[in-house]
A and B are shown apart, each in its own frame.
Chain A
Amino acid sequence: MERIPILRMGDFLLVTVQVEMHDQLALNLQEDLADRISATAARGVLIDISALEIVDSFIGRMIANISGLSKIMDAQTVLVGMQPAVAITLVELGLNLPGVATALNVDRGMQLLRHSVQQQ
């Protein structure tokens, strides 16, 4: 079965979505991330969607779910790299991703994660 790779960087997990996101792939990612957070005791998850050309309500819901479940598992999620056209479309669609932390790029996202771990 097709899967999106999850890399470990110290206390954090890094997910770079490089392929066209179909629904089953999104569901697999959600399950895989929950397993990996549990197995590695990760404190943060960084999801890079800079290669995604659209985010529809299904993918948006998956992102919100991942953010919610990682919070329950004591890890913070940061979504990075959203293309401007995707951001404009998401807001118009009515999907504001409440509760999902975002950053402009991977560097800023990592800063955000490190900062929030230090504060705890």
Chain B
Amino acid sequence: MKVTDKGTRPIRTEQDIVLARQACRKLAQDCGLRLVAQTKLVTAVSELARNTLVYGGGGDLDWEMLEDGVRRGIRIVFSDEGPGIPDLQLAMTEGWTSGGGLGLGLTGAKRLVNEFDLETAPGKGTRISITQWT
């Protein structure tokens, strides 16, 4: 698997969530994802970027365009240096929320993409990687 292009964007303000969505839509189109796969990816980006801002206190979005044989993909990594997720199992429970949300952010985002990977520890921040393949 090789990385053909990459970049980074800040997630510091509410406006950055909108900009992240627009940037990822463009990447998804360039990658050749079909419309439904694009929409799922951009929706997952919206959920996770909001989590990074609201729960992580802001952070970064790093993206990579991937090539693996004939298939192409996009990997997007959200990282913050916030408080981390104390109880991961609880956070990945459908409908559970620590904030005022619906509790669909993490579990929902996971269902919308092909690969989902989460690393977190109390006091060490959170890193979530999602990948969508053509």
List 27 A-B residue pairs with CB atoms under 8 Å apart, sorted by A's residue number: A20-B18, A20-B21, A20-B22, A22-B14, A22-B15, A23-B14, A23-B50, A54-B21, A54-B39, A54-B42, A54-B43, A54-B46, A56-B43, A56-B50, A57-B47, A57-B105, A58-B50, A58-B101, A61-B101, A85-B36, A85-B39, A86-B39, A89-B112, A93-B104, A93-B108, A94-B104, A95-B104
Chain A residues packing against B (C-beta within 8 Å) = 20, 22-24, 53-58, 60-61, 83-86, 88-89, 92-95
A23 CB contact (under 8 Å) in B17, B25, B105: B17
Q: How far is the CB of B113 from chain A (nearest CB, A)?
A: 10
* B21 near A55: Cβ-Cβ < 8 Å: no
CA distance A20 to B22 in the complex (A): 9
CA distance A56 to B45 in the complex (A): 9
* A contact face: mostly helix, strand, loop, or mixed: helix
CB of B121 within 8 Å of the partner chain: no
* A92 near B40: Cβ-Cβ < 8 Å: yes
